[in-house]
């Protein structure tokens, strides 16, 4: 009987979190404008994606991507004029970023493997898809930041496992924020290839690849600012709430 009550309370809490955080994300999407993508008319970058690592830290692997996806879906249904074909193709980008962040944040294991390894798997699948496209093979240099983030995620995961103290938390949180923000970007970049190269034929491969290569400095600045924002917020939330029994990820062993 006691177990059934605990399960019922957990389901009720998760449902409340899902509803409230979905609504919050929808409102933020409505309030914040999109940034026009460099060189590609009809593509916008949502500033709200900077929240995806924070969602991942607070809500974990299931509720975080679910909340962002539902919030995005509600915004698209209620405010359809703001969104384009590109928006619908890339609506899974921010949820994927939240999932990736939560996997890097969490020091626990799943199926006997550290969870950060599954974030590497996500990146590997996206990069394989990238290089399978004609644009991706021409813009190989564009993927350097993604490989750097993969290496950083692996380093933080290994370093945190060797130093299981509160001091390891900032490194892991920074890696999680970078991993989520750039996973979102990689998915979005693939979405642009799908829409503007294959669906609409608006660009030939060489032209779209040239835009990607020219955008590298802009990407580093833009994503760097997003990472800085999400890291500051996530670290302070973690320090304030890490003892809460409702916290969905465990950054440091023993919490």
With a cut of 80, say whether residue 7 has pLDDT above it.
Answer: no
Domain presence at residue 222: yes
Higher pLDDT among residues 167 and 252, named by residue: 167
How would residue 83 be classed by pLDDT, with cut points 50, 70 and 90?
confident
- The residue-averaged pLDDT of 75-98 equals 90
Domain presence at residue 159: yes
pTM: 0.92
How would residue 70 be classed by pLDDT, with cut points 50, 70 and 90?
very high
With a cut of 70, say whether residue 248 has pLDDT above it.
Answer: no
Lookup: tokens for 24? 């919050």
Range of the domain at 98: 2-241
Q: Report which of 60, 65, 83, 61 is spatially closest to residue 22, judged by C-alpha positions.
A: 65
How would residue 252 be classed by pLDDT, with cut points 50, 70 and 90?
low
Domain presence at residue 252: no
Strands (E), 6-147: 34-36, 44-46, 109-110, 113-114
Rounded to 10 degrees, the C-alpha dihedral 97/195/32/172 comes to: 20
Q: 20, 68 in Cβ contact below 8 A?
A: no
C-alpha dihedral sign at 179, 47, 72, 245: positive
Lookup: tokens for 10? 């957990």
Domain presence at residue 6: yes
pLDDT tens for 173-205 read: 999 999 999 999 999 999 999 999 999 888 999
Number of domains forming the structure of the chain: 1
How would residue 42 be classed by pLDDT, with cut points 50, 70 and 90?
confident
With a cut of 80, say whether residue 243 has pLDDT above it.
Answer: no
Domain presence at residue 59: yes
Higher pLDDT among residues 202 and 7, named by residue: 202
In whole angstroms, how far apart are CA 142 and each of 87, 137, 147, 208, 245?
A: 22, 10, 10, 12, 41
Share the mean pLDDT of the chain: 90
- The residue-averaged pLDDT of 61-79 equals 93
With a cut of 90, say whether residue 154 has pLDDT above it.
Answer: yes
* pLDDT of res. 175: 96
Q: What percent of the chain has pLDDT over 70?
A: 94
Angle at 27 between CA 226 and CA 191, to 5 degrees: 55
Domain presence at residue 7: yes
Domain presence at residue 247: no
Pairwise CA distance, residues 76 & 83, whole Å? 7
Domain presence at residue 173: yes
């Amino acid at each position: 009987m006691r177990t059934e009550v605990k399960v019922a309370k957990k389901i009720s809490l998760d449902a409340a979190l899902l509803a409230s955080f979905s609504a919050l994300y929808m409102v933020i999407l409505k309030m914040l404008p999109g940034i026009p993508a460099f060189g590609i008319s009809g593509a916008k970058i949502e500033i709200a994606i900077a929240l995806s690592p924070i969602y991942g830290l607070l809500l974990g692997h299931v509720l975080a991507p679910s909340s962002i996806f539902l919030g995005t879906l509600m915004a698209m249904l209620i405010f359809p004029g703001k969104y384009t074909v590109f928006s619908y193709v890339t609506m899974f980008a921010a949820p994927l970023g939240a999932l990736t962040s939560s996997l890097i944040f969490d020091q626990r294991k799943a199926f006997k493997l550290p969870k950060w390894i599954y974030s590497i798997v996500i990146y590997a699948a996206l990069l394989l898809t990238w290089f399978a496209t004609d644009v991706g093979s021409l813009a190989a240099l564009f993927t350097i930041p993604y490989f750097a983030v993969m290496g950083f995620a692996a380093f933080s995961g290994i370093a945190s496992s060797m130093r299981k103290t509160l001091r390891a938390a900032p490194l892991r949180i920074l890696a999680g924020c970078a991993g989520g923000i750039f996973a979102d970007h990689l998915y979005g970049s693939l979405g642009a290839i799908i829409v503007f190269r294959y669906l609409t034929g608006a660009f030939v491969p060489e032209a779209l690849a040239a835009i990607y290569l020219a955008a590298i400095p802009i990407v580093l600045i833009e994503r760097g600012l997003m990472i800085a924002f999400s890291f500051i917020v996530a670290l302070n939330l973690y320090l304030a709430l890490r003892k809460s029994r409702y916290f969905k990820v465990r950054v440091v062993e023993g919490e």
